[in-house]
C-alpha cells in the first residue's frame, strides 16, 4: 500500500476530474446510442449492447482492469455475489447483459436513464410483493435469449463471505427451465483496501465513496464463471447449490461441471 504525500494530491484531484468527466461522457453516449437504436428499430444487436460497449470504454478510462476466468454464457441467468456498484459495469463490459437492480438506481440522474434504456429490471424492496411483481419481466428477458445478471444476496457486502441467497428471485428462471450460471467477482487495489475503497456496503454513501475510489490507482476486477450451465426444478435447491458454487468460486475452489448438469444445446 502506497503512502499518499502532499505532492500526490494534485494528481489525485486531476484523476477524479478526468474520471468524473468520463462517467458523464459514458452516460451521454449510452443514452444517445440507445435512443438511436430505439428510433430506427435496429435489431442486429440486443438493447444491452450500448451498455456493453460504453461501460468497457469507461472502465478503461477509470483504471479498472477486468480479467475473466471461464466462459461467459451466451444466454440465461447469471447469479453472482455483490460487492459494489462497479459490479454492474464490470459484468456489462464482459458481455451484453441486463440486470435486476434496486429501484433507487432508476432515479439516479443520467445513470438511471441509461440503465432503463438497456432493459434493467428494478425491484422495490420496500414492498412485500416486490419479488413477485418482477417475475414477468425476468421471464420475458430470459425468453428473448438475453443474459440477465442477478445478485441474489439482495445487498452488497465487503467480500469476506457470501450471504445466503434469496430463492424467490430465482423463481422465473426455475419455472422456465432457463440455464443458470454461477459467477463470482473480486477486486484488488494497488493503493488501498478493496473492502473499504471498492466494496460499497453498510452505511456508505455513493458520492463520497465514488470520489474516494476515483482518487485511487489501478483497480483489478476478476470475474470467475462456473463451468456449469444448468436448469433447476426447485428454487430452494437452486439457491442452495448456486450459493455453494459462488462460495467455491470466491474461495478459488475449482468447480467442475458434471456431464448431466451441463446445458444441452
Confidence at residue 35, expressed as pLDDT on a 0 to 100 scale: 84
Q: Which three cell numbers stand for residue 17?
A: 476530474
Confidence at residue 215, expressed as pLDDT on a 0 to 100 scale: 92
Average pLDDT estimate for 88-112? 87
State the pLDDT confidence band at 125, using cuts at 50, 70 and 90: confident
Does the domain made of 6-250 have the CATH classification 3.40.1130?
yes
Average pLDDT estimate for 6-34? 87
* pLDDT above 60 (res 7): no
Q: Which of 82, 51, 90, 96 is nearest to 223 (CA)?
A: 90
Q: Which of 218, 179, 249 is nearest to 66 (CA)?
A: 218
Confidence at residue 45, expressed as pLDDT on a 0 to 100 scale: 75
Confidence at residue 93, expressed as pLDDT on a 0 to 100 scale: 95
Q: Which three cell numbers stand for residue 55?
A: 461501460
Q: Are 159 and 247 within 8 A, CB to CB?
A: no
The structural domains of the chain, with segments of one domain joined by +, span 6-250
- CA-based max dimension of the chain: 60
> pTM for the full model?
0.88
Tell me: the pLDDT tens digits for 51-95? 999 999 999 999 999 999 999 999 999 999 999 999 999 999 999
Confidence at residue 5, expressed as pLDDT on a 0 to 100 scale: 52
Give the chain's mean pLDDT: 87
* Residue 32, number of CB atoms within 10 A of its CB: 14
Tell me: the pLDDT tens digits for 210-263? 999 999 999 999 999 999 899 999 999 999 999 999 999 998 865 555 434 444
Amino acid at each position: 500500500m502506497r503512502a499518499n504525500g502532499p505532492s500526490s494530491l494534485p494528481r489525485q484531484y486531476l484523476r477524479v476530474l478526468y474520471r468524473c468527466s468520463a462517467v458523464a461522457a459514458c452516460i451521454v453516449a449510452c443514452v444517445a446510442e440507445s435512443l438511436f437504436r430505439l428510433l430506427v428499430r435496429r435489431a442486429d444487436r440486443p438493447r444491452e449492447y450500448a451498455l456493453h460497449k460504453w461501460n468497457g470504454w469507461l472502465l478503461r478510462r477509470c483504471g479498472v482492469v477486468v480479467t475473466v476466468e471461464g466462459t461467459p454464457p451466451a444466454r440465461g441467468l447469471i447469479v453472482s455475489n455483490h460487492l459494489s456498484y462497479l459490479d454492474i459495469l464490470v459484468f456489462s463490459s464482459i458481455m451484453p447483459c441486463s440486470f435486476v437492480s434496486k429501484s433507487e438506481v432508476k432515479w439516479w440522474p443520467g445513470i438511471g436513464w441509461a440503465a432503463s434504456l438497456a432493459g434493467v429490471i428494478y425491484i422495490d424492496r420496500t414492498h412485500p410483493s416486490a419479488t413477485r411483481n418482477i417475475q414477468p419481466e425476468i421471464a420475458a428477458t430470459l425468453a428473448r435469449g438475453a443474459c440477465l445478471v442477478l445478485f441474489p444476496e439482495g445487498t452488497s457486502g465487503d467480500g469476506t463471505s457470501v450471504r445466503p441467497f434469496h430463492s424467490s428471485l430465482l423463481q422465473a428462471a426455475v419455472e422456465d427451465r432457463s440455464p443458470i450460471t454461477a459467477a463470482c467477482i473480486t477486486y484488488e487495489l494497488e493503493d488501498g483496501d478493496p473492502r473499504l475503497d471498492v466494496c460499497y456496503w453498510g452505511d456508505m454513501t455513493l458520492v463520497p465513496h465514488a470520489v474516494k475510489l476515483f482518487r485511487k490507482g489501478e483497480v483489478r476486477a476478476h470475474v470467475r464463471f462456473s463451468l456449469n450451465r444448468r436448469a433447476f426444478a426447485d428454487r430452494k435447491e437452486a439457491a442452495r447449490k448456486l450459493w455453494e458454487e459462488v462460495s467455491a468460486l470466491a474461495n478459488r475452489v475449482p468447480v467442475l461441471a458434471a456431464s448431466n448438469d451441463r446445458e444441452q444445446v
